[in-house]
Structures are given as C-alpha cells and as structure tokens.
Amino acid sequence: MLKHHSALGLANALRPVQPVTIIRPHAARRAARFFVEKFQGRSIYAVKANPSPELITLLWESGITHFDVASIAEVRLVSRLLPDATLCFMHPVKAEEAIEEAYFTHGVRIFSLDTIEELEKILRATKNASDLTLCVRLRVSSDHSKLSLASKFGAAPHEAKELLFAARQAADALGICFHVGSQAMSPAAYVQALSHVRAAIVDAAVTVDVIDVGGGFPSIYPGMEPPPMEAYFKAIHEAFENLPVSYSAELWAEPGRALSAEYASLLVRVEKRRGDQLYINDGAYGALFDAAHVGWRFPVSLVRGEESDAKDMAFSFYGPTCDDMDHMAGPFMLPADTRPGDYIEIGMLGAYGCAMRTGFNGFTAGETAMLDDEPMASIYLSEDEDAAVSSNVITL
C-alpha cells in the first residue's frame, strides 16, 4: 500500500488517473478509543457503514469487541476476520436460513426483531434455543436526524406490549433497541427515544436486560456541526439511569458513521470544467452515492502545489459514467480557478463511501493510499489539538 504524509504528496508522486481511496488509520483508532473510554456502555460497530477488513481489524485492536452485522455475508466476514468477536445480528428481518447459519455455524446469540413473526422465525431457526439475547426494536422519531430511519423498521406503540412479553418468555436476556436516524444533530433525539422505551417497559411490565440506543452518532460535514460527542453520551446515560430496568442492565450503542467517517477520503481528478460544473473521475456509482442521491455535502479541498489566490465559488460535480444521474449538486466550495488536471480531496467518506461503490459503466476504484496527516474535519479533536494539527483540517 502507498504511504504518504499528505494528499498533495500523494498527487505529486502518483499523478493518478483513477480515484484514490485515502485512509487514515490513526483517525479510526482515535474514534474507537473515544467510544471505548467515554461511552458508559458497550460500543458495537455497525459494519454496514464500512465493511473494510482492514478497518474492522483496526477497530478490534482499538478495543471494539462487538459488531453489528446486518446480513449473513457480514456475519461470515467478521467471523472469519475475528473469531473471538461478539456478533449482533441486528437486522429486524432476516432469512430463516441466515439465522440458522449465524447461530449454529458462527455462534451468534444476539438477534433483533420487530414482529411476532420474526420472533417465531428466530425460535424455529435456532431450534428453540435457550441462550438467546433478543432485542425488540421500537419505532421512534427521526425528527432530529438528517436521514430518517423511522418508516421501515420498528414495532409501533400498540404492538410493543405483546411483542415484549412474548420475547421475554423466549429470551435468556431481553433487550430493547431503536434507531433515531442517521446523523442525529441533537442529543435530544436519544432522550426522546428513551422516553418511548420507558413507556413501553411500563406498559409491558417486563424485566429488561439490555438497552441499545442504536446508531445515529454524528460526524462533521459542511452545514452539519453537531454538539460535542460527550453531550450525546451524557444525555443518553442520564436517561438510561432513570429507566425501570434490571439493576444489572447493560447500555449498548451501535456507532457506524462516527467510527468510520474520518477513516477515509477520496482523491479525484478534474477531467473537464463547464462553468460551475466539474467533471471528476468518481461519482454517484462510486464513493459519492450520498452526495448524488441524498444531497450530502462533503468537505472538499483543492490539491495543488501552488496555492490559489482565487476566491472560492460553488461548484457541482458530474461523475465519470454516461448517466445524467451521476450528478452531485453540492454546492462544493473550491477556488474559482479550479481547472482540468487539478486534484481534489473529498473528505469524510469512510462512512458509506467505499461501501456503496459499484463497477457501473466500467469505472472502478483505483489504488488505496495511507496518509498520516489529519482528516479534513474531526469531532474528536479538542480545540488545542485542532489548533496544532496540519492546515488541511477544516474547522466547520
């Protein structure tokens, strides 16, 4: 793997024709240690955010021992990489064959569900196992988040009582889980959700052993500046402490974006300029799916040997395929003299970047390079640390 200090050094040395995935292992280690040391519960990495074997192994080495897997392919991947890891099969709708393989072949004992039918499926597939941790997923609001996850999964309030009672009878340990949506911009999202958890526990009158607050922990992007992560941890722990749960109940969380976003970015080349539109060599069918399809704005930086004196202006991007939908509206703020042949670093793509990449139209990923400088933004750096790092870090 290529190693450089900065994106500029990489661009000058390689002059890449294809997009280059940049990884910063130290950023992922820092994020993992932050959660392990400061979240007062169990941090479980949501593999879907970035299933890179290198990242999964790095997180394990940094203290993340539990992994949220959403498919049998993810179960197999983590089981192969980390035989001693604890796997939590947290997709609420699973194939019966996937449950059976997960339980009997890979030792999975933790499953989520949001219907009686799924509970019955789990029990059939595991032959009525007596060592299951069953986490009932409740439907909660995504009002405080940038991407909603409120419509597809989760038991509604009128369904929760029967489901919790039935799961309690079948489970060795009963959990309640939820997901407030991706990129939650306020700790209030979790406080509000935990109030629904309280109501469900009281209504069902069951003993609960696990409270899993799911994902949604944010990262920093242009126009999305969340409160400090400690504020989320504090609000969650205070609400958890006031729940009517078992004295030994565990608190879990499933960070995905928050553990992986700062790990990777992308170096792309400008192939053409048409006014305020830049044609680049990656796009909607590559690592920029979110920029194209949900209008996500990522930090960008012109990577050029000589500094530009031009003022920044708003650009949109077109990707390399022949598809008009391969368009990222942005706006992406870059110097007005950005031109063909220039390189651009697009940051914070460790989450849902490479994970969404396809080979459509024959455009695939290029090389991967490791850098030891800081990511373009970080939610984990203190003000003093932020002032001390290299100038490529953008304070948003």
CB 336 within 8 A of CB 314: no
With residue 201 as reference, give the H or E element that holds it. helix 188-204
User: How much helix, strand and coil, in percent to the nearest 5, is found in the chain?
Assistant: 35, 25, 45
* Cα–Cα–Cα angle for 5, 285, 356, rounded to 5 degrees: 70
Q: How many CB atoms are located within 10 Å of the residue 275 CB?
A: 7
Residue 353: alpha-carbon gap to chain centroid: 10
CA–CA separation, 146 and 181 (whole Å): 7
CB 19 within 8 A of CB 286: yes
Residue 222: which of 353, 394, 344 has the closest Cα? 394
Q: How many CB atoms are located within 10 Å of the residue 128 CB?
A: 10
CA–CA separation, 137 and 213 (whole Å): 10
Mark whether 322 is an active-site residue.
Answer: yes
Sign of the Cα torsion 271, 273, 278, 284 reads: negative
Sign of the Cα torsion 218, 2, 303, 358 reads: negative
Q: What are phi and psi of 63, to 5 degrees?
A: 110, 0
Helix and strand numbers (H, E) in the chain are: 12, 19
DSSP assignment of 123-185: HHHTTS-SS-EEEEEBP---TTEEE--SSSS-B-HHHHHHHHHHHHHH-SEEEEE----EEE-
CA–CA separation, 56 and 35 (whole Å): 15
3-state secondary structure of 23: strand
Pairing of strands 110-113, 368-371: unpaired
Which is catalytic among the residues 135, 177, 322, 354?
322
Residue 220: which of 256, 265, 183, 254 has the closest Cα? 183
CA–CA separation, 365 and 18 (whole Å): 7
Which residues have C-beta within 8 Å of that of residue 197, sequence separation ≥ 6?
138, 176, 178, 211, 243
- Catalytic positions, please? 322
